[in-house]
Structure formats: structure tokens, C-alpha cells
Amino acid sequence: MVQTPSKSERMEIRKAIGNRSIPGPDAGVRPRGSDYLVAHACFDCRKSWKVSEASAATCPQCAKALHWMGRAFKAPKKSDTEQWNKVERLWMAGFRFIPNTGWRDAEPYPERLRKVAAFIESNPEHPFRVKS
Ligand SMILES: [Zn+2]
């Protein structure tokens, strides 16, 4: 049986690939509160926050712009520089952290930093990769 993406999954993909429309500050009531909080990370501070999609996301610690990670992002421990370097390299290469409930044939992200270069190389068309 072929599983089709749910509405929220489709939205997640659409946001990740960059053709989302972000409501302005006067867009009115937020649709569903905490459903719309998405992980954003600061690679300098090695921290992540759940931030509303509509807000201008800046790091509360260093005031730099936060990076939109996606709903499936799990922040590594602050002390785990290898994992932070890994997610930063993936992010910089366009990979976003989107919940995959099995409807896409997507290679899982590598566990270790040393595998990242090969992973990026062999996944130019990864479904969770933003085209630049
Ligand atoms: Zn920061």
C-alpha cells in the first residue's frame, strides 16, 4: 500500500523547499498555536529553540539569525561538537530535518560527521534537500 503524505507533511516539505508564504505581522490570529513552533538553531551557540514560523528568528544569546531546522530536528548536546558540526554541514548543504513517516524513499542522515561529505555527494536529489 502506498502511503500518501498528510496535509501537515506536505506543508512541511513545501516550507523546507522554500516556496512557503510567511504571513506578515498583521496576518491575524495564529492558526493553531504550538503546532506552528518549529526548531531553529544557532550553530555558534550550539542551541536550538522552538520558534513561531511567523516571527523573525534571532538567537536570544548572540542575536544572530537562527536557522530553520524543521520539525524533526533534535538538538545534540551543547558539548557534542561533532554532532553540531554534522548538522551544520548538512544544513549548509541544504538538508532540512523533516519528519519522514515512511512515504518518501529517503536515505537517512548519517550518524557521524565523517560520513557527511559522502552523504551530501551521493544525495543531490534528496527529498529533504533545499535547492539553492
Ligand atoms: Zn547564538
pLDDT in tens, 91-104: 999 999 998 887 67
Q: Which residues contact 6 (CB under 8 A, 6 or more apart)?
A: 101
The pLDDT of residue 60 is above 50: yes
Q: Quote the ligand 1 centre to 78 CA distance (angstroms).
A: 12
Distance 62 CA to ligand 1 centre (A): 4
Lowest-pLDDT range, 5-9, 73-77, 108-112? 5-9
Q: Output the CA 130–ligand 1 centroid distance in Å.
A: 23
State pTM to two decimals: 0.73
pLDDT at 57 over 70: yes
Report whether 17 contacts 48 (CB < 8 A).
no
Cα(90)–Cα(75) distance, integer angstroms = 13
pLDDT tens figures, 25-55: 444 444 455 457 899 999 999 999 998 876 6
- Ligand 1 centre from 8 Cα, in Å? 29
Quick one: CA torsion of 18, 106, 41, 70, rounded to 10 degrees? 60
Looking at the chain, the whole-number percentage of residues with pLDDT higher than 70 is 78
Three cell numbers written together for 107: 536515505
Per-residue pLDDT, 35: 57
The amino acid at residue 29 is V
Which neighbouring-strand residues pair with 7?
none
